[in-house]
A and B are shown apart, each in its own frame.
Chain A
Amino acid sequence: MSQAVLADTETAPGARMDLLRFATAGSVDDGKSTLIGRLLYDTKTIFADQLEAVEAASASRGDEYTNLALLTDGLRAEREQGITIDVAYRYFATPRRKFIIADTPGHIQYTRNMVTGASTADLALILVDARKGLVEQSRRHAFLTSLLRVPHLVLCINKMDLVDWDKAVYDKIADEFTSFAAKLEITDLTIIPVSALNGDNIASRSENSPWYDGPSLLHHLEHVHIASDRNLVDVRFPVQYVIRPQSTTVTDYRGYAGQVASGVLKPGDEVLVLPSGMTSTIAAIDTADGPVDEAFPPMSVTVRLNDEIDISRGDLICRPHNAPAVAQDIEAMVCWMDETAPLRVGGKYAIKHTTRTARTVVRGLQYRLDVNTLHRDEQAGQLQLNEIGRVRLRTTVPLLADEYRRNRTTGGFILIDESTNRTVAAGMIIEAQ
């Protein structure tokens, strides 16, 4: 660790920061764990006892340098095999932001982990090895980022020290990736040359890349503008739980508890309740700290209405002129996540969409998508583990659904195998009617 340059601590992380969630992806040897270890180390998130443990473990493995990857690979099998098996969550903070990292393994068999990590991410970070350039996996990860509609993408071209910080190497990879990304719906792309091992362009700009005039990785993570990523236009409030105190002190209270999926709710607003189609107005928006003037994502609140309407879990509160589809026929992209059985046409599953659970049957599989070439195989009869395809579903009760591209909360769903209870697929709605 002798080469490490510690970032200035400035002031300690405080009580008022905002929150950025990001997912990292890379191939086994791209140095992803080292990069995360470096971010944690340079933001002083790694503690002395953790570092001691890692140093001891590195020494006993005969590693030449302190293997920061050992910080993130926590399971016995991972340490033994030197691979990352499962999504691991990491935390660090700077005075500006708290960060949650979903660290996802890169090997081919773990696409489902990348999809899982990306589902809640504001930003995806993809690593490539400067010596190898883009590989099949880099393209797959970029595709999954766009499929899951992660709003920001960062490509770190790592191990630049091993190509003597050659600008031409950076340019070639950057050009190739940019043209690939143009085919996908990626709105915000930033490309940074780094050496995770030595800390170049991680916490601060490196002197080794005078030709690079962009931000360091940490600076970018701290400053990337995420406030406007939220949908504040379409009011969507899935009812989670009805609060009705059985008490002598609080009488006649009936509140609809939930987390605002999108839009801004205010007392007095006219609302439409689905699927019943009844309308009312918002009487109050309560929290345990008292009523609030407005509620927006990601607030968890309790909404009270001025009319007595029958509303239960799984219903949705929206505005009369801006409502989601009330739909039993769903077109969606799904990523199959079960290794024990494939998705097949005619298969029946439980479907969980917002706070509503129903049953569904797979009516058709239009195509299976090759995530490396984006080729569509229309002859495919099923989807195996980690395969992605476009399906047509019919549900037993209507879902209150939006297109995923417009709303990640009311556009996403999971399928559950009803006999094993395993979560077998992630779905993103293309069209609902």
Chain B
Amino acid sequence: MSQTKPYRVSHLDALEAESIFVMREVMAEFERPVLLFSGGKDSIVMLRLAEKAFAPARIPFPVMHVDTGHNFAEVLEYRDSRVATLGLNLVVASVQEAIDTGLVRELPDGTRNRIQTPVLLAAVEKYRFDALFGGARRDEEKARAKERMFSFRDEFGQWDPKNQRPELWGLYNGKHHPGESIRVFPLSNWTELDIWHYIAKEQVPLPSIYYAHDREVVERNGMFYAVNEFIKLRDGETSEVRKVRYRTVGDASQTAAVLSEADTVDKVIDEVAATRITERGATRGDDKVSEAAMEDRKREGYF
């Protein structure tokens, strides 16, 4: 054995190898996996990893978009072109349709984050998906820091943080009874900065709204929301055109932009490395509701 060769791998290569391992485990052990694809950067990276995990074969499972109906046009466009390029089967679980059929009721404030959950669970039941890949990262939020790579969900899709399966070595336990399912989070150990370094390394294309652009925005609670069909000016508010980009892409009625000059991936990396605010703190109205907002949503079956 050579003593001089370092056999080093970078942290990005190690993270990629772990994520690919996890995706292959799922494909080998489950009947009907699906990858949750929102057109956000994390799910885009996850899709890229799926491409790499099964090459030269095609990605061997469909992707699902839980569509709140509150979308950024650029993101929907991106979703459709990506799906076409990769030859994937796209399942759309529509919140609007669920409202129309009475499965869920529109909330008084018009936000749809919370009512996505029953729509997701109905689609899981309809298509009998037994493993759902999600792009959640443990660095995003404190309840997510306690999440497993393979997260068991009962027949109601619920997460029980006090009763999680221990995960040892790379031995993931995906066993479940019919009707139960496993949420799988291959990006668990990635940070926001890792995601951006990987996007740069892999030259992964993103929806244009992730890079700085001029947009008409209104400032609310220190956050900058795009003025559009979902967010209308209230009395006394004025809008202005600012240079912004999106750090996260969620429901268009609740996701705020950040002021930014970063119009290339390298500039975004510099900005992310220097920022002092978490991405959810900077951009998500829905997480500011309470200390345990995310934990509560996850218990109900959220991603």
Name the segment of B112-120, B159-167, B238-246 touching the other chain.
B159-167
Chain A interface extent, by class: 35 or more
Instruction: Encode B43-74 as 1/0 by CB contact (under 8 A) with A.
Output: 00000000111111110000000000000000
CA distance A241 to B15 in the complex (A): 19
The verdict on A88 contacting B146 (CB below 8 Å), with A47-B277, A355-B28 known, is yes
Q: A433 in the interface, Cβ–Cβ < 8 Å?
A: no
B146 touches A412 (CB 8 A): no
For residue B80, which residues in chain A have a CB less than 8 angstroms away from its CB? none
Q: Per-residue 0/1 for B168-195: is the Cβ within 8 Å of any A Cβ (1 yes, 0 no)? A: 1111010111000000000011010110
Q: Which of A137-145, A184-192, A243-251, A368-376 contacts B (4 or more CB under 8 A)?
A: A243-251
Output the nearest chain B residue to A287 by Cβ-Cβ distance.
B52
Interface residue ranges of A350-380 to B (CB < 8 Å): 350, 352-353, 355
Q: Bound state CA distance, A286 and B20, in angstroms?
A: 14
Q: Tell whether B143 is near chain A: CB-to-CB under 8 Å.
A: yes
Contact indicator A12/B274 (Cβ below 8 Å): yes
8 Å CB contact of B28 from A48, A79, A240: A240
A19→B11 contact, CB < 8 A: yes
Among B1-9, B31-39, B94-102, the stretch that binds chain A is B1-9
Q: Which residue of B lies closest to A92 (CB)?
A: B191
Assess whether B57 is in contact with A245, with CB atoms less than 8 Å apart: yes
Q: Which residues of A contact B12 (CB under 8 A)?
A: 15-16
- Choose from B51, B188, B273 the contact partner of A13 (Cβ within 8 Å): B273
Q: How far is the CA of A16 from the CA of B277 in the complex (A)?
A: 24
Q: Is the CB of B173 within 8 A of A298?
A: no
- A116–B166 CB distance below 8 A: yes
Which B residues are CB-close (under 8 A) to A72? 142, 145
Contacts of A230 in B (CB 8 A): 7
In the complex, the answer to whether A49 meets B278 with C-beta atoms within 8 Å is yes
**A50-B281 in contact given A259-B21, A414-B173 (Cβ < 8 Å):** yes
Min C-beta distance of B150 to chain A, whole Å? 10
Contacts of B176 in A (CB 8 A): 421
Instruction: Check A115–B168 contact: CB distance below 8 A.
Output: yes
> Would you give the shortest CB distance from B230 to chain A, in whole angstroms?
24
Chain B, residues 119-153, CB within 8 Å of chain A (1/0): the string is 00000000000000000001101110110000000
Distance between Cα atoms of A253 and B55 in the complex (Å): 11
Contacts of B216 in A (CB 8 A): none
- A86 interface contact, C-beta 8 A: yes
* A-B contact list, 14 entries, CB within 8 Å: A15-B12, A18-B8, A18-B11, A19-B11, A47-B278, A47-B281, A86-B161, A87-B166, A89-B138, A241-B27, A243-B55, A298-B9, A355-B25, A421-B173
Chain A interface (Cβ < 8 Å from any Cβ of B): 12-19, 47-50, 53, 57, 71-77, 79, 85-91, 93, 97-98, 100, 112-113, 115-116, 119-120, 227, 230, 232-233, 240-241, 243-247, 250, 253, 257-259, 264, 286-289, 296, 298-300, 302, 313, 337, 350, 352-353, 355, 408-409, 412-414, 416, 421-423, 426
7 new A-B pairs (CB below 8 Å) besides A15-B12, A93-B191? A47-B277, A116-B168, A247-B57, A288-B52, A298-B9, A298-B18, A300-B20
